[in-house]
Amino acid sequence: MMDSPISKHCVVAISSHGFGHLAQVAPVLNQFAIESTQTVQTDPSIRFTLRTELPTSQITQRVRVPFAIDVASDDFGMQMRSALQTDLPASLSRYQALHADWTRHVDRVAEQLTEQAADLVFADIPYLTLAGASHAGITSMALCSLNWADILLQSVVAYPAALNEASVGLQQFERILQTMRDAYASAAVFLQPTPSMSMLGLTNARAIDVVGEPPPQNCRETVNEWVQRAHLQQNKPQAINKQIANKQTTNKKIRDAWLVLVSMGGIPTELQPANWPTHCNGRLVIYLVTAALANQHPHAVVVDDHAPAYQTLIAASDVVLTKPGYGTFVEACAAGTPILSVTRAQWPESDALMRWVSDSGHVKAITLGQLSAGEFGTALGVLLDGGRSEPIEMTGAASAAQTIRGLIDPSARGAVAAPVDLRRG
């Protein structure tokens, strides 16, 4: 009788800066759920602990492998005024405070990872977790379409006055950046899924294909039924009922309506839906929105706990109204759903994402001013007339899962760089 494979422990550190980092990690972890349906006797079983402060409801909606949660956050990314605007001086102040006590933070994380008996740390993309893993002698890997060192550097290059506003000297800033880069360099590999921003300073970077999952199929009717129920439960049909005679006609109007999913990546953002178009190309427009935007548009439906999964909503919608972000862009292109994107000029990753999505799907860009004033009917109409794009294929998640298996196997340890002391901030 063959012995059971030895269980290995992978700690997955996920940035809590919005939901996009989870959208990259989940398809990788779900590869193990796919592979678990096949008998692979030579691979060790792997248990996962997700180290993050993201809502459990978001995690369980996306991750299909068994996991434990370690409620902790080893990074904040950037301080945001909204999903579209960073607060660079505040971000610099927070980095200054973090690095002023860097050694203690690295020691703390290293101790926690050791207590958890981690065999591998997989980070998207908290560099503190990578530094802690290196200090503890634990193999690590990173995956992300960005890194915080390049985001911070490019932000300061675009707005250098922020250093004075935050009382951060140039030499101090350069030391912070170097510490960040050293932490990222400590990983055995930094996987850059397509599309990624330029990361020329990473010597351990390796490009992989798009990381995502196939979208749900034939889900429009399911979403239409939910929209109809939600209108009743949320007391939203009154404005529509002023135009139509009875419930049967109401439901037909809803079934024939354009569905526009409004998604800003999980970062609170003040929008003004009251000004948004109610009709486009002769049909009703229904906006699927967060609870914060409830009661601000006569045709808004709140995406609550009873709504279909986010990926289902993307696949069923006619357009996604969003800002440049890896997860939503990839999931929309995977489903062929057109994208109405609000420009995000302050975000260094935006250009790479917009170039890629322009080649991979149907996209129109609008400004925040146009969004606020509701002056995007023409762009919306063009996207709706153009229909859906050809869905993209994605193999990056399988590549990343293969990397995890290779690194967590003891036979691969000899190829991993030796631990270095990254406690000097």
- Cβ atoms of residues 205 and 192 within 8 Å: yes
Note the pLDDT of residue 247: 57
Nearest to 5 by CA among 29, 35, 49: 35
Q: How confident is the model at residue 249 (pLDDT cuts 50, 70, 90)?
A: low
Q: Domain locations in the chain?
A: 8-213+395-415, 220-386
What predicted TM-score, i.e. pTM, was given to this entire model? 0.90
Do domains 8-213+395-415 and 220-386 share one topology? The answer is yes
Percent of the chain with pLDDT over 90: 77
Q: How far apart are alpha carbons 385 and 8 in whole angstroms?
A: 51
Mean pLDDT over all residues of the chain? 90
Residue 47 CB contacts under 8 Å (≥ 6 apart), including other chains = 7, 8, 9, 10, 66, 67, 68
- In CATH, the architecture of 220-386 is 3-Layer(aba) Sandwich (3.40)
The mean per-residue pLDDT over the stretch 365-374 comes to: 95
What digits encode the pLDDT tens for the residues 51-66?
999 999 999 999 999 9
CA quadruple 226, 227, 230, 231: dihedral sign: negative
Q: How confident is the model at residue 245 (pLDDT cuts 50, 70, 90)?
A: very low
Backbone angles phi, psi at 124, to 5 degrees: -135, 90
Instruction: Confirm or reject CATH 3.50.50.60 for domain 8-213+395-415, answering yes or no.
Output: no
Q: How confident is the model at residue 296 (pLDDT cuts 50, 70, 90)?
A: confident
